[in-house]
Amino acid sequence: MASLLPVRIQLLPSSFGVDGRILPEQRLTSYVLDDVLAVDAGSLALGLNDFQRQNVRDIVLTHAHLDHIATLPVLIDELFGSLETPLRIHALPEVIELLERDVFNNMVYPKLSKLSNSHGPVMSYCPLPLGKPVGIAHFQITAVAVNHPVPTVGLKVEDVHSTVIFGSDTAETDELWMLANQSAHLKAVLVEASYPNHLETLARCSGHLTPTLLKAELEKLQHQNLHILAVGLKPSYHKTIVQELAALKDARICVMEPGKEYAL
């Protein structure tokens, strides 16, 4: 059943101080929606609280770069004995193939998709189609290809109340903004701003955005009354990128805070 409440989203923390406090730097990428759905698994095993750990059973992977999948094996291993239903991994077929070949290959990590506990399988793959809405948890999710060196998708996640766009890692792209412009009840776009402006050449060749490039991308967005949540800021340049985003003077833009819950 679709929720009648705002979608709740957390960027899970991946950097911590010596006293355990959450630091603003984002080194790994994972989001949790309504405590039941995860998007990406970079920091999933590190950042989930106990309630989320017991309720997140669907994980959508945007692509297979390590900062987006790093703790997936650790989480499944940790939950192995308690899982009554498998963790469902929703991803492009190319991503699933890579996980089986290069991660869950009985060398880097056991082939968990072939293992079961007393309740049955602990992990299953669900191929994610492009351009076709699929029901996952209580959401409808549509994936579109974005501009990154490996197969990568951006996502439209919607229920009856809200629509949120996850840009994932991408350089300049058109299809993502077309998807956003066609969306009803669009409340937020989560979009990367990985590198500072002086590293635009690096950003372009590695499939990322700078604040200046992000500004040009947002000109493709027809919706105005929404939140633009900047994510993926490289920790080494975090302070500079924050300053450059502020210099855009776009009141919609703010840097997403790890650990904070956003109701959208």
- The Cα 40–Cα 60 span in angstroms is 6
Structure tokens that stand for 115 in this block: 């293992």
Which pLDDT tens digit goes with each residue over 191-225? 999 999 999 999 999 999 999 999 999 999 999 99
In a domain, 211, yes or no: yes
pLDDT tens string 56-104 = 999 999 999 999 999 999 999 999 999 999 999 999 999 999 999 999 9
Write down the pTM of the prediction. Answer: 0.96
CATH of the domain at 42: 3.60.15.10
| Mean pLDDT score, 97-123 | 97
Query: 154-167 pLDDT, tens per residue?
Result: 999 999 889 999 99
| Banded model confidence at residue 1, pLDDT cuts 50, 70, 90 | very low
Cα–Cα distances in angstroms (integers) from residue 251 to residues 79, 112, 224, in the given order = 42, 45, 10
In the chain, helix, strand, coil percent, each to 5?
A: 30, 25, 45
Mean pLDDT over the full length of the chain: 96
pLDDT of residue 60: 99
Judge whether 33 lies within some domain.
Answer: yes
CA dihedral 10, 200, 212, 172 (to 10 degrees): -70
49-57 contacts: CB < 8 A, separation 24 or more? 53/79, 56/32, 57/85, 57/86, 57/87, 57/88
Q: Based on the structure, what is the number of domains in the chain?
A: 1
In a domain, 84, yes or no: yes
- Of 206, 198, 136, 200, the C-alpha closest to 166 is 136
Tokens linked to 149? 């060196």
Q: What is the DSSP letter of 14?
A: -
Q: Which two tokens stand for residue 181?
A: 């412009």
Domain holding 149, by residue range, is 8-263
CB-count exposure of residue 258 (10 Å: 0-12, 13-18, 19+): buried
Give pLDDT, residue 66.
Answer: 98
Distance CA 130, CA 145 (A): 7
- 5 pLDDT tier (thresholds 50, 70, 90): confident
Identify the residue whose tokens are 């106990």: 50
Does residue 107 lie in a domain region? yes
Question: Is residue 174 in a domain?
Answer: yes
Pairing of strands 37-39, 116-117: unpaired
Mean pLDDT of the 42-63 span = 97
Asked whether residue 212 is assigned to any structural domain, the reply reads yes
